């Protein structure tokens, strides 16, 4: 093996690229911050107090940046921990929730799902989980906020299985009683880890003492009750629980589950270590010329996100690429598959925990930000000129937010129609027309409301049209079809008044409804109707 290939393999082996999926407020920001703390990338985790007022206005990571006074901005954080190189990709939540959040999941090799122990599985987690499940990537569960009262661990396992359809394997188990857990039992090491009281409010890594399960010392420390409860729980898990099965974890069919508290550093280090042990390094990817192994010395990457205006001082656009194979070097020339031309990557940026910096090289699993003069699109493949290929197209994510849009000034109808047609062509917002309506108003759909704001802003600035926007109560869109291809009309369906019947820009019929429950009702009442998440 050549020296070059050996070093490429080394680099690949140590990389772990993942995203955190969770509902807002479950603790994504706090856990990210704590992982950085344990990784030595920051020294004292900041008090996350006083974030509340600002929190909904800016992205979570910008919050960390403000609090810490360091730049951890934007799409990816990279740090080292005991020989591993970790890339955490941001999945914007709150107001920033958008198609980008889903697209980020196309660029990771595994996902960490945070569940708030008191709230269980919440809506946004469900949506993000679905995307991960479709990709069959390993999903690791961190049950957070164990420092206070929440649902019982067995009930949470049950809920995850019922709501998400995935079995879990607890990697550790809390010791003590709810709201007052004293530590965790580590099933892999067969050890009980007891935590010293947190006197720093989670600002420093927490003192922990590990005991062999047979050691009576931990029994004396936790008392008879907690001791016997744990023995009973361990027996139950061993007898009735899922067996540990690495292959099922790798395929995303079984989720390793960890209990802890990001705020008080309870179980965080144990989670990080076990995660690094079990999570996969960069995986091969399907392409037009077959499976591309990361060890392939020919460079390949794809664009998964484009971000405009990162720096308000100058309106730059950054295209984020995920490297799939080979080594990336600054100033290299690559083949842009869609544009069918060669381009030079001159100012690549990487986002280390400390700062944004120009990078000289990067490896499979890494994310690099490229200045984009408008040549990149989502899903574009960049590759070696000696091995031209294209990665599979990105899936389309159905819109979940809808609004009726019309021009404030009816005299501006023409510009309005032009602006709507042109801007929605870019794909961030989907355009619909209500059955029976003309061009005086449109229904627009997007994954997150932020895109509506962008649309409003651009219509005003680029087309000089102010709009009225009325949010609609629908959250689910389904394209409609009959198996025998006969025409779908509003009159031919039952119970359709529970939603809104619209046509997409290709005049295909679509039904918008409030929720999955309403969808079930429509299905029951129109048994031969097909309801599709994307047009065929």
Residues that bind ligand G4P (CB under 6 A): 22, 24-30, 48-49, 51-52, 60, 93, 144-145, 147-148, 261-263
* Count of Cβ atoms closer than 10 Å to residue 438 Cβ: 8
- CA–CA distance, 378 with 321 (Å, rounded to integer): 10
Which tokens sit at 335? 């083949």
Is the Cβ of residue 124 or residue 434 nearer to ligand G4P in the bound state? 124
The least CB distance from residue 364 to ligand G4P, in Å, is: 28
Kindly tell me which of 45 and 306 has the beta carbon lying closer to ligand G4P: 45
Q: 120 and 156 in contact (C-beta within 8 Å)?
A: yes
Burial of 524 (0-12, 13-18, 19+ CB in 10 A): exposed
List CB contacts of 129: < 8 A, sequence separation 6 or more. 21, 113, 139, 164, 166
Max CA-CA distance within the chain?
83
At 422, list the tokens.
């042109």
C-alpha to C-alpha distances, 111 to 85, 91, 269, nearest whole angstrom: 16, 11, 17
Return the closest-CA partner of residue 504 out of 528, 478, 526, 484. 478
* Closer CB to ligand G4P, 48 or 319, in the complex: 48
Between CA 536 and CA 531 the distance in angstroms is: 11
CA distances from 124 to 120, 222, 225, 283, 530 (A): 12, 37, 37, 26, 26
Nearer to ligand G4P, 56 or 414 (CB): 56
Q: Please report how close the Cβ of residue 124 comes to ligand G4P at its closest, in angstroms.
A: 10
- Kindly tell me which of 27 and 174 has the beta carbon lying closer to ligand G4P: 27
Write down the least CB distance from residue 510 to ligand G4P, Å: 32
Smallest gap from residue 137 Cβ to ligand G4P (A):
20
- Report the distance separating Cα 283 and Cα 325, nearest Å: 9
Would you say 99 or 147 has its CB closer to ligand G4P? Answer: 147
Q: How far is the CB of 202 from ligand G4P (least distance, A)?
A: 8
Minimum Å gap between C-beta 336 and ligand G4P is 35
H/E stretch holding 363 reads none
**How far apart (Å, rounded) are the C-alpha atoms in residues 355 and 288?**
36
Distance CA 209, CA 203 (A): 19
Q: Given its phi and psi angles, is residue 74 left (phi above 0), alpha (psi -120 to 50 degrees) or beta?
A: left
Q: Which is nearer to ligand G4P, 145 or 305 (CB)?
A: 145
Nearer to ligand G4P, 58 or 437 (CB): 58
Residue for token pair 């989907």: 430
Query: Closest approach of Cβ 423 to ligand G4P, in Å?
Result: 30
> Nearest distance from residue 32's CB to ligand G4P, in Å?
8
477 vs 400: CA distance, rounded Å? 7
Dihedral in degrees, nearest 10, Cα atoms 485, 488, 491, 492 = 30
CB-nearer residue toward ligand G4P: 52 or 315: 52
Minimum CB distance to ligand G4P smaller for 61 or for 299:
61
CB of 109 to ligand G4P, least distance (A): 22
Instruction: Give the C-alpha separation, 178 to 176, whole Å.
Output: 7
Shortest gap between Cβ of 34 and ligand G4P (angstroms)? 9
The C-alpha atoms of residue 72 and residue 78 are separated, in whole angstroms, by 9
Please spell the DSSP secondary structure of 303-337, one letter per residue. EEEEEE-SSTTS--EEEEEEEEES-EETT-EEEET
Helices (H) and strands (E) in the chain, counts: 13, 29
CA-nearest of 279, 260, 243, 237 to 16 is 279
Please report how close the Cβ of residue 49 comes to ligand G4P at its closest, in angstroms.
Answer: 4
Cβ 154 to ligand G4P, closest distance in Å? 20
Q: Which is nearer to ligand G4P, 144 or 349 (CB)?
A: 144
Give 28 or 305: the residue with its C-beta nearer to ligand G4P. 28
Q: In angstroms, what is the minimal distance from the CB of 130 to ligand G4P?
A: 19
In whole angstroms, the minimum distance from the beta carbon of 188 to ligand G4P comes to 22
Nearer to ligand G4P, 144 or 381 (CB): 144
How would you label 29-54 residue by residue, b for 16+ Cβ within 10 Å and e otherwise?
bbbbbbbbbbbebbeebbebeebeee
If the CB atoms of residues 45 and 319 are measured against ligand G4P, the closer one turns out to be 45
């Amino acid at each position: 093996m050549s020296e070059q290939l050996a070093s490429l393999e080394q680099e690949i082996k140590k990389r772990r690229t993942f995203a955190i999926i969770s509902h807002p407020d479950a603790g994504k920001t706090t856990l990210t911050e704590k992982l950085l703390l344990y990784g030595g990338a920051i020294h004292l985790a900041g008090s996350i107090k006083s974030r509340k007022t600002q929190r909904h206005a800016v992205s979570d990571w910008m919050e960390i940046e403000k609090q810490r006074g360091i730049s951890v901005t934007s799409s990816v954080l990279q740090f080292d921990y005991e020989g591993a190189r970790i890339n955490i990709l941001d999945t914007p939540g709150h107001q920033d929730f958008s198609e980008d959040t889903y697209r980020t999941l196309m660029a990771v090799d595994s996902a960490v799902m945070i569940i708030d122990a008191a709230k269980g599985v919440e809506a946004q987690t469900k949506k993000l989980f679905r995307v991960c499940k479709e990709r069959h990537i390993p999903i690791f569960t961190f049950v957070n906020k164990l420092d206070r009262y929440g649902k019982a661990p067995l009930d949470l396992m049950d809920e995850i299985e019922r709501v998400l359809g995935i079995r879990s394997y607890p990697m550790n188990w809390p010791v003590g009683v709810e709201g007052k857990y004293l530590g965790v039992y580590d099933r892999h090491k067969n050890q009980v880890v007891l935590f010293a009281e947190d006197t720093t409010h989670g600002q420093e890594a927490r003192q922990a003492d590990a005991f062999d399960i047979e050691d009576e010392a931990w029994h004396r420390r936790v008392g008879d009750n907690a001791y016997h409860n744990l023995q009973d729980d361990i027996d139950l898990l061993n007898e009735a629980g899922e067996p540990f099965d690495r292959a099922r974890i790798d395929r995303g069919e079984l989720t390793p589950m960890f209990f802890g508290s990001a705020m008080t550093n309870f179980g965080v280090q144990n989670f990080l270590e076990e995660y690094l042990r079990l999570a996969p390094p960069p995986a091969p990817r399907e392409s037009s010329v077959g499976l591309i192994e990361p060890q392939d010395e020919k460079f390949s990457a794809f664009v998964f996100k484009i971000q405009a205006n990162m720096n308000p001082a100058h309106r730059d656009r950054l295209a984020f690429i995920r490297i799939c194979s080979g080594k990336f070097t600054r100033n290299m020339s690559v083949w842009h598959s869609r544009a069918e031309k060669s381009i030079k990557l001159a100012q690549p940026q990487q986002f280390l925990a400390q700062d944004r910096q120009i990078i000289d090289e990067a490896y499979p699993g890494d994310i690099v930000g490229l200045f984009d003069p408008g040549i990149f699109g989502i899903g574009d493949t960049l590759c070696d000129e000696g091995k031209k290929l294209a990665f599979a197209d990105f899936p389309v994510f159905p819109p979940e937010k809808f609004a009726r849009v019309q021009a404030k000034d009816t005299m501006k109808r023409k510009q309005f129609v032009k602006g709507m047609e042109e801007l929605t062509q870019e794909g961030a917002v989907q355009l619909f027309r209500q059955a029976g309506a003309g061009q005086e108003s449109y229904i627009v759909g997007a994954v997150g409301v932020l895109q509506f704001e962008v649309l409003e802003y651009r219509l005003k600035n680029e087309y000089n049209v102010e709009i009225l926007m009325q949010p609609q109560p629908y959250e689910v869109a389904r394209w409609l079809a009959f198996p025998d291809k006969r025409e779908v009309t509003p009159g031919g369906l039952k119970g359709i008044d529970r939603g809104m019947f619209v046509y997409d820009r290709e005049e295909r019929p679509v039904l918008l409804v409030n929720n999955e429950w309403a969808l079930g009702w429509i299905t029951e009442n129109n048994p031969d109707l097909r309801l599709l998440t994307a047009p065929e």
